[in-house]
Structures are given as C-alpha cells and as structure tokens.
Amino acid sequence: MVTVILACEIGFWVVLGAGLVARYLLRWRRTSTVLLICVPLVDVVLLAATVVDLRQGGSASTVHGLAAVYLGVSVAFGHSMMRWADQRFAHRFADGPPPVKPPKAGSVRVRYEWREWGKFMLAHAIACGVMAFLIFVVSTPEHTVALWRETIPTMSIVAAVWLLWPLSQTFKKSRPASG
C-alpha cells in the first residue's frame, strides 16, 4: 500500500506537469484540459487499491489511514495546488504574471488563514468519511483498530494544532498589509 500511495503522489504531479507542459509549452489546449481533468482520477485509483487490499482479507493499518488522509488532502487542497503550479508554470514558461502571494497581514491574512484551516477541516471530514467507508468494507472492528484509534485521533490533533495559527492571526493586532 505504501508503494501505491507513493505512486499516486508521483502520478498526481506527473499528470499535472504533463497538463501544464501541454498547455504552455506545446499549446495543446484540449490535451491539457483532458490531462488536468484526469488529475483527480489518481485519487480514484488510490481508493480502489485501498478497497481491494482490504477486501482481500487484510487488516486496516496506519497505511490505509494514510491513504484516506491523502485522498482528503488531495480533494480539499487539490484545486489550490493545481492553481499554485499553474501560476508558477505560466510565469516561468509563458510570460504570465508573477504568482499570487498570500497576504502578509491584516484582515485579508486572517481570512486567508481561516480559509486554509477550513480546507484542512474539509480534508479531515473526507478522510474520516473514507475511513468510515473502509471500516464498513472490512466490517470487523478488530481489523480496523488502526483507523479509529490512531489515524482519526492523529488527524484531529493536527487540526487542533493548526487551529492555533488562524486564532493567533485573528487576535494579533491588525496592521495594514505592506505591498
């Protein structure tokens, strides 16, 4: 499963890179659109591989939980990661404008930090939903201990720690963003 997760992570960036090369270097708009639409299919492959692995009688492990977390993060942050890569690629290879930088301070920064934390909470919800699905697929509590005793609590701790950052930005003395 670790190999499948790594292959899917590499596959995400390879398909994204191929889509950007097709768009900006080769000027193949349709091909690039198809490739960029295919990026989420990598997540489908990972989910299918995880389900197949568990249906073959294995116990869910932390690795299966990691697959669920990967899926959640990919869905919640995937669009912004693609936009991040697109801006940099366009700037570097197609004379596009400089990439947009996160705001430095003020209420705009606070909104940005809460939005990013909100994306993580969406990733958390998706990952927990996927793990609930995996628990249902395996259908024996003793074979899914790693999911509900390790992965879900660990993700919840990450969410709580991450929450400290937008809170600190909210209560920080607001000052205007400098250009």
- How is residue 146 written in tokens? 């790693």
Residue 139 Rama label (left phi>0; alpha psi -120 to 50; beta): left
Lowest mean pLDDT across 30-34, 50-54, 78-82, 151-155: 50-54
pLDDT at residue 131, rounded to an integer: 87
If one counts every other C-beta atom within 10 angstroms of the C-beta of residue 151, the result is 25
Mean per-residue pLDDT for 131-157? 82
Burial (Cβ within 10 Å: 0-12, 13-18, ≥19) of residue 162? middle
d(CA 99, CA 126) in angstroms, rounded, equals: 29
How many CA within 13 A on the CB side of residue 35? 20
HSE, CB side, 13 Å, CA atoms: give it for residue 46.
31
Please check the confidence at residue 140 and state whether its pLDDT lies above 80: no
In degrees and rounded to multiples of 5, residue 151 shows phi and psi of: -70, -50
Nearest to 113 by CA among 163, 39, 177: 163
pLDDT at 176 over 60: no
Q: Write the pLDDT tens digit of every residue in 62-78.
A: 888 888 898 899 899 98
10 Å CB burial of residue 50 (0-12, 13-18, 19+) is buried
> Under DSSP, is residue 105 helix (H, G, I), strand (E, B) or coil?
coil
pLDDT in the model for residue 132: 86
Work out the angle at residue 67's Cα, subtended by the Cα atoms of residues 20 and 135, and round it to the nearest 5 degrees.
145
SS3 at position 45: helix
- pTM score > 0.75 for this model? yes
